[in-house]
Amino acid sequence: MKDGPTVNSDPASRPGHERRSRRDDIRARRRKRRNRSIIAVIASLAVLAVASWFVTPIVKDLFNRTTASTVTDYEPGGTGEDVTVVIPPGATGAKMAAILKDADVIHTPATFVSAFAANERSSRIQPGTYKLRTKMSAAEAVNALLDPVNRADAALTVPEGFRADQVYERVAKQLGIPLEEVQAAAKDSAAIGLPEEAAGNPEGWFAAQTYSFAPNTSATEVLKEMVAGTRAMLERQKVPAERWQEVLTKASIVEREVPPNYYGEVARVIENRLADVSGPTVGLLQMDSTVLYGLGKRGGIPSAEEVRKDTPYNTYIHKGLPPTPIGSPSEAASKAVLNPPEGNWLYFVTVDLNTGETLFTGDHEEHKRNIQKLRDWRDANSGGPSAEPTSDEAQ
């Protein structure tokens, strides 16, 4: 049998196989490159996502900080929304700034502090309650605190020498609180902070000064602040608590008897008379101011008949100090009581009721001559007090 052509079974040796093999290699390499590109893209996107997760908050914070650093003040005019703020006593510009920032009156404390420093009148800002607008410019806020029209509180002054009943009347009138309510509040010693030594009587314990009260402050809170003012005054002067009532009583008499330039001398007269139990005054203070208080009178000169009326406050009849102070003394009067000048004075009389000129002596005969000077002054001044004998003349 004749052999036919031999068939080659090796594919690699077949015609065209080499070309196909090269094409397959090229395609494979292309697929690998595409796969690597896809993986690279996916990896890049993953990196970007992670980076964005970390970077976005940082960028936001940076943006917010940049914005905050450039916007440091509100536009003038505010929003028109009313807000009430309280400026406490002794507040600095920085303290005010913090209060105003909390109430959204100003944008940043630093801007207010700068405006406060730039305004030469800023030191005149008074403590109290103010009605302002939110979102005011810093300069506007400073000016608003300087404008009395923005005060939402009420000022109330207790003058030196005011009696308790006068204080109640003024509180009722200026704060719009019923008088009966004020009087009732005064009876609650614990609520108004009255010390035990006062024995429930607040006379003399309402500090003579100017106050600022927020709207709707209760009568109890008003009187409590006044009592606290007196306690603070005594503590500043380091007066022992057991002497509080005594010092206030003496100071109240000094306050009602003479002008401030004679406080020291009258304080010394009180000490000398209290010690003169076996001398010419036998421990009697003989003060017109106490007699008038006992009679319910707020001023004037007691007559000889009034001097003879027996009340607990008649120091022509009763030795020693009266039962309570006779008014609210000033700090100057209490200082005079605590440190009176040296002197042997037992008597004094005001010889000119216009100028308040007062003469002091330790000799009764000289005192009589000084009384005559008062009579001469009254004779020369037809508009002066009554010619009826005074307590000094009746001694």
How many Cβ atoms from other residues are within 10 Å of residue 273's Cβ?
Answer: 24
Report pLDDT digits (tens) over 137-192: 999 999 999 998 998 888 899 999 999 999 999 999 999 999 999 999 999 999 99
Q: What's this model's pTM, rounded to 2 decimal places?
A: 0.70
C-alpha atoms less than 13 angstroms from C-alpha of 75 in its C-beta half-sphere: 3
* Sequence letter at residue 378: R
pLDDT for residue 61:
52
Let me know if 165 is exposed, middle or buried by CB neighbors in 10 A (0-12, 13-18, 19+): middle
49: helix, coil or strand?
Answer: helix
* Beta strand segments in 175-255, E: 210-213
Residue 211: the pLDDT is 92
DSSP states along 357-392: EEEEES-HHHHHHHHHHHHHHHHH-TTSS-SS-BHH
What parts of the chain have a pLDDT lower than 70? 1-71, 78, 383-395
Which domains are assigned to the chain? Answer: 82-150 (3.30.1490.480), 154-236 (no CATH), 256-394 (no CATH)
pLDDT at 314: 98
Rounded distance between C-alpha atoms, residue 359 and residue 366, angstroms: 10
- CB-based burial label for 394 (10 Å; 0-12, 13-18, 19+): middle
Per-residue pLDDT, 214 = 86
Amino acid letter, 352: D
pLDDT score, position 302: 92
The pLDDT of residue 134? 93
Rounded-to-integer distance, Cα 169 and Cα 184, Å: 13
